[in-house]
Amino acid sequence: MKHLPFTLVLTVALTMLSACSRSASREAEIESAVPVIAEPVRLGDIRTTISATGVVTTLPGAELSVIAPQAARIAEITKNIGDAVNSGEVIVRFEFPSLRAQTAVNAAAVRAADLRLQQARLAQTRIRSLLSSGAASQREMDDADREATLAEGELAVATAAVTAAEAVGQNSSIRAPFNGTVTQRLHNPGDLVRPEPDDPILRLIDPRQVQVTATLPVADLTRFVVGATARSVAEGPPSREGVTLRRDSRVSTVELLRVVSRPQPEAGATSVAVTFAFDSPTELAPGTQVGIEIDAEQRSNVPLIPAIALLKDGAGNPVVVVAVGSIAQRRPVVTGIMDGQLIEIRSGLKAGELIITQGHSSLRDGTPISVTTP
């Protein structure tokens, strides 16, 4: 058997050694690559929201404070706090201490005035008969006519006083002007009350006629219009019957709203009250505090990335990390609006580029990466 030339053996050995070295280098490179998760930049629609805190309030005309028509004593209150009231139902009855005595005085005045008028007319008839026979003078006739006229006026005044007293008596009962619920009861039967706004007896509201009022910064007013949609979120204890729940369990009530008033702010104002109407009847009571989200600016067919993909550079400017093949590339971007989960990219990225969303916070330009896409 002939021996191979020494140079041929050496060449083969060097070739095998070089191949092994390259293989080991590739394996080391693969082992040093940082595993990341990336997803493509996509085109889509995005809308931002404005968050605020509001309070459920009654609409104008849907609230009544019951006040006595004059100084009175409460004879009866027919409802308690939380009771439902039907329109036209009597809710308070009064007694007027001075009305009974005044009624007696007025009745006596009417009787006296009527008696005086009867006597004046009899005298008037008698003197007219005497005047025709020459037994009385014209002056006596004029005096009799004058007395009859005065008596008629006195009777008219006394009768008007009786009518006025009867009108007050008719106001001794107050009826509900709408279907509602009693929210406050500030007096009891037997109490003396004054005809003053600061001395109410009951407060009645129509719980179906409610709105939400919220105070917003003036800077946010240009971000939405009257008619914009919104949502209210109220948290409270569950009202499910027959179900055992934890003592600290809470439920959220989400209801649709619409902006119905966005007044212009006064000069120098920093905030303004905005009102919202419910899209459907609500069970939220006046005074309930709710969280509000108002639909504001919207963009269509724009590049979007997940909010978790956005980083900040040393100067605080927004950057992202793009997967370019198996290499990481940090890239500055200009952002637009965000909705909490997605961010609009105004420049710096194109649709379809792979943006790293996990494992990117410590990556530098040129770092080898092993990309996985969801």
Q: What is the pLDDT of residues 235-288, one digit of tens each?
A: 765 444 333 334 455 567 789 999 999 888 888 899 999 999 999 888 788 888
52-59+209-298 CATH pick, 2.40.30.170, 2.40.10.120, 3.30.2130.10, 3.30.70.2190: 2.40.30.170
- The reported pLDDT for the residue numbered 7 is 58
CB 202 within 8 A of CB 89: no
Q: Which of 12-26, 224-238, 298-312 has the lowest mean pLDDT?
A: 12-26
Domain 31-46+300-372 has CATH 2.40.420.20: yes
Residue position matching structure tokens 């800077």: 219
pLDDT score of 27 more than 70: no
Separation of CA 90 from chain center: 31
| pLDDT bucket at 108, cuts 50 / 70 / 90 | confident
- pLDDT (0 to 100) of residue 244: 39
Say which residues have a Cβ less than 8 Å from residue 133's Cβ, sequence separation at least 6. none
Whole-number pLDDT of residue 281: 81
pLDDT at 240: 41
| Averaged pLDDT, 118-147 | 85
CA-to-CA distance for 87 and 178, rounded, in angstroms? 4
User: Is the pTM higher than 0.75?
Assistant: no
Distances (CA, A) of 283 to 238, 239, 258: 13, 12, 17
**Closest by CA position to 50, among listed 218, 270, 210:** 218
Query: What sign has the CA pseudo-torsion 177, 180, 185, 188?
Result: positive
pLDDT at residue number 26: 52
Q: According to the model, what pLDDT value does residue 247 have? A: 46
Instruction: Select the CATH number that applies to the domain covering 67-92+174-205 from these four: 2.40.50.100, 3.30.70.890, 3.40.50.720, 3.30.43.10.
Output: 2.40.50.100
Mean pLDDT check: name the lowest of 55-59, 299-303, 337-341.
337-341
Q: What is the pLDDT of residue 340?
A: 79
Domain ranges of the chain: 31-46+300-372, 52-59+209-298, 67-92+174-205, 97-171
- Asked whether residue 168 carries a pLDDT value surpassing 60, the answer given is no
Mean pLDDT of the chain: 84
Distance of alpha carbon 97 from alpha carbon 195, whole angstroms: 14
d(CA 18, CA 25): 11
Question: How much is the pLDDT for 237?
Answer: 55
